[in-house]
A and B are shown apart, each in its own frame.
Chain A
Amino acid sequence: MKYFDHAATTPPYEDVIRTVGEVMAQHFGNPSSLHRMGEDSGKLLSKAREVCAHALQVNPGEIVFTSGATESNNLAIRGAMARYRQRGNHIVTTTVEHASVYETCSHLEQQGCEVTYVPVQANGAVRAEDVLAAVTENTVLVSVMHVNNEVGAVQPIAEIGKALKDRHPRVLFHVDGVQGYGKLPLSIRDSRIDLYSLSAHKFRGPKGTGLLYVREGVHLTQLLTGGGQEGGLRSGTENIPYIVGMTKAMRMAAERQPALASHWSKLSRELHEGLAGLPGLVVNSSPDGAPHIVHFSYPGIKAEAMLHMLEEEGFLVSTQSACSSKRSEPSRVLLAMQKGKDCALSGIRISLGEEHTEEDVRQLLGAVKRTMERLQIVKGGNR
């Protein structure tokens, strides 16, 4: 079975698994305890914080460990809106955000916030000037993802950040960096980002752990009340083994990023070319998108049917994003890209990992082709 669903989750590095096990066995002390064992765990925690900060080129004090990107995104958005209520109640985001941003914004909308969802172009990317134009006197936060999880569109983060801070220095800039980290370089400082979310399992770390970068000087209202861990922003006993595991994965991902990016670019170019040659198939991702995601639709065929047939051929892919693939609704992201309902119901995402070779890609393309032929029979029948 060939796994082509790395945007959903990645297999943890062997070293990460070993590290998590060792740390879990040797350092189970609560870092808040005053005794020696607690102290040791505390040391690991601060070492992890330093290494993460170094990987992101920020200060250790700016790292808040969380349970993952959903929590990081919620903390960033809800925390900022609650804390800076006196500045206004307007959020600017895009129509293609991950559910943990999108749904959080719509939930806040129900509670009286105003949200502007900036539309994207046909390639899935927003234009920086459209984001900027949506900012009003009342705007507290701009939240834009780095790389789209469904189609791999890359958003102009640096351009938005710089222009935003030049024109509206008080407006906070949040970036959901989940699909971008380890795939594309991004400078948090140069892009003038205030809040940046990451999830460990997207770069071969453990699930259930992540972080939020909170720029020094930015204050958030916490979502969880309790023991005041993580500077009060994230109460709850720290998950030391996973945090250490994430740190290791983060460092490894950062080191390998340049080499992997060029590897993936080559594979995705082949995928793009191969898929474009198949009549009736629509490639939704753009060649200038993130190197590890290729997305296509076979209009007229429900995505799930294609997914299962590819699985039968030995390839695991995804429909929409994994997080929303259990609903058989048209993809919000594809609709936002003006792809039409047919396309939006039949989207398939191929996401690459380190292990893939050109041969794998060729085989996958062959399987897609065969699957399309077999599905010809039912095509159009399930609209």
Chain B
Amino acid sequence: MQYDMLLLRFGEITVKGRNRSRFEKAALAHVQDLLQAYPATEIKKEYGRIYVVLNGEPAAPIIEVLKNVFGVTSISPVKVAAAEIDEIITQAVSFVESMNVAKETTFKVNARRVWKKFPVSSQEMNQIISSPILKSCSHLKVDVRHPEIELRIEVREQGAYLFSEVVPAAGGFPRGTNGKAMLLLSGGIDSPVAGWAAMRRGLEIECVHFHSYPYTSKKAEEKVIDLAQVLSGYYGKIKLHLVPFTEIQTTLAGGNHENVMITLMRRAMLRIATNLAERNGALALVTGDSLGQVASQTLASMNVIGKVTSLPMLRPLVTTDKEEIIGLAQQIGTYELSILPYEDCCTLFVPKSPSTNPNLHIIEKIEASLPQLDEQIKEAVSKTETIVIKPGETVIRRSQGEPVAQDKWF
């Protein structure tokens, strides 16, 4: 069936009182961005809903795209009929016929007369419309309590909307409606998922990645760029700050404190991220920490590490199990990238027995014994390279020369 419109519903934001229009505007802008690829479509905004008029564009791929819009809780493809009872019946019958349902499927019609001048009442409509449907699809059974299919019909002055399918969408808050945060993005499985979860709560994110040339390869960095690109698919433009971390790492590794190496590294990273957050107007740090997963994510470690920043630490995955995180990573499309095997600065110097219970006093003493550290942190911030990543666009780096894949070869 060729659908005429998509109906996008909002959840939580409808309870936002006076701020509601700001939330709706943000969601609308997001939808507009994504629909640029489908120029024939038109957007109509209504109280608590957005309609996308398809004008001949196919519904399925657009639903796939729009179900990633934060703030939208569900999407239904809609068939539009004229607001006349005969027309509604004809369309309703062909709507159900086109669903090709199996025998003994239960169904009901749920009609609603929004336009009160329409001559048939909601109750009457249910009756009038169901019987021709049953006649045409004799294998259907009516069940008004728990139907497998519910054909919903809303009669408005401008037309009657018929829909049945309800595709769950991302939910949460529209993009960027809850402020900005800095995401510590590694090449692992967790941090991209944490970034997605943060964006879903209406946060704008900028990403910080720490690299350790020449110990790590360009591939590790490209992997992170690719991860950020996947995230940008859910958001639009995303900034990625690439921080040179080699010198700090070398300094920390030279201090012979192997078992607290990770703690020291994480503290240095948070200092840099905090600095970058302040420069870019971000009000929180987001990490992929999940309680107890590794030594640096015990409560004691998080405590000592978090002491270096005054910004709120947001850890969307803190109580999530690894299996659930993997499931989410697969769902949002970062998993396959995350499992690529390149070393990054977090996996490079993994101590044999990292401390799960670092002592703040000792850590501070070690840091005090490394006078060059503060300077190096400042330098890392100043040498940070920032790139802007847009969905679907190839990132050209400063250092890159000729593209490898020549167009004439393909």
Q: Interface of A with B (CB < 8 Å)?
A: 15, 19, 22-23, 27, 34-36, 39-40, 43-44, 47-48, 51, 61, 166, 244, 247-248, 251
Contacts and interface: CB of A to CB of B under 8 A. Distances in A.
A248 B408 CA distance: 9
Given A19-B408, A43-B405, A251-B410, A61 B217 contact: no
A22 B218 contact: no
Contacts of A34: 217, 219, 342
Contacts of B217: 34-35, 39
A51 B219 contact: no
Contacts of A61: 336
A47 B394 CA distance: 12
Nearest to A15: B408
Interface in B361-410: 404-406, 408-410
Interface string B329-360: 00000001000001000000000000000000
Contacts of B342: 34
| Ranked 6 nearest A-B pairs via Cβ | A47-B405, A40-B404, A43-B404, A19-B409, A51-B410, A44-B405
Interface of B: 100, 217-219, 336, 342, 404-406, 408-410
A47 B218 contact: no
24 contacts: A15-B408, A19-B408, A19-B409, A22-B406, A22-B409, A34-B217, A34-B219, A34-B342, A35-B217, A39-B217, A39-B218, A39-B219, A43-B405, A44-B404, A47-B405, A47-B410, A48-B410, A61-B336, A166-B100, A244-B410, A247-B410, A248-B409, A248-B410, A251-B410
Given A39-B218, A43-B404, 20 more contacts: A15-B408, A19-B408, A22-B409, A23-B409, A34-B217, A34-B219, A34-B342, A36-B218, A39-B217, A39-B219, A43-B405, A44-B404, A44-B409, A47-B405, A48-B410, A51-B410, A61-B336, A166-B100, A248-B409, A248-B410
B327 to A, nearest CB: 15
Contacts of A47: 405, 410
Nearest to B218: A39
A244 B409 contact: yes
Contacts of A40: 404
Nearest to A41: B404
Contacts of A39: 217-219
A142 B404 CA distance: 41
A23 B100 CA distance: 50
Nearest to B403: A43
A27 B404 contact: yes
B219 to A, nearest CB: 6
Nearest to B408: A19
A36 B222 CA distance: 12
Nearest to A166: B100
Most buried by A among B218, B342, B410: B410
Contacts of B100: 166
Contacts of B408: 15, 19
A51 B409 CA distance: 11
B1 to A, nearest CB: 15
B405 to A, nearest CB: 4
A332 to B, nearest CB: 38
A284 to B, nearest CB: 38
B346 to A, nearest CB: 18
A61 B336 CA distance: 10
Nearest to A61: B336
A16 to B, nearest CB: 10
Contacts of B406: 22
Nearest to B405: A47
B224 to A, nearest CB: 15
Nearest to A245: B409
Nearest to B102: A166
A251 B408 CA distance: 12
A60 to B, nearest CB: 11
Contacts of B410: 47-48, 51, 244, 247-248, 251
A36 B404 CA distance: 11
Nearest to B220: A34
Nearest to A52: B410
Contacts of B405: 43-44, 47
Contacts of B409: 19, 22-23, 44, 244, 248
A203 to B, nearest CB: 15
Nearest to B217: A34
A36 B400 CA distance: 12
A17 to B, nearest CB: 12
Nearest to A54: B410
Nearest to B410: A51
B187 to A, nearest CB: 14
A280 to B, nearest CB: 50
A40 B219 CA distance: 10
Nearest to B100: A166
A15 B407 CA distance: 12
A30 to B, nearest CB: 14
A27 B406 CA distance: 12
Nearest to B222: A39
Contacts of A251: 410
Nearest to A35: B217
A235 B379 CA distance: 45
A141 B180 CA distance: 52
Contacts of A23: 409
Contacts of B218: 36, 39
Contacts of B336: 61
B270 to A, nearest CB: 30
A36 B218 CA distance: 8
Most buried by A among B217, B342, B406, B409: B409
A39 B216 CA distance: 13
Nearest to A40: B404
A218 to B, nearest CB: 16
A251 B405 CA distance: 16
A248 B404 CA distance: 16
A248 B410 CA distance: 5
B207 to A, nearest CB: 22
A71 to B, nearest CB: 23
A49 to B, nearest CB: 11
A47 B408 CA distance: 12
Contacts of A166: 100
A362 B279 CA distance: 78
Nearest to A248: B410
B233 to A, nearest CB: 14
A39 B218 CA distance: 9
A40 B406 CA distance: 11
A22 B218 CA distance: 25
A209 to B, nearest CB: 15
B47 to A, nearest CB: 37
Contacts of A248: 409-410
A166 B408 CA distance: 43
A61 B330 CA distance: 13
Nearest to A241: B409
A205 B405 CA distance: 18
A248 B142 CA distance: 55
A39 B408 CA distance: 20
Nearest to A45: B405
Nearest to A20: B409
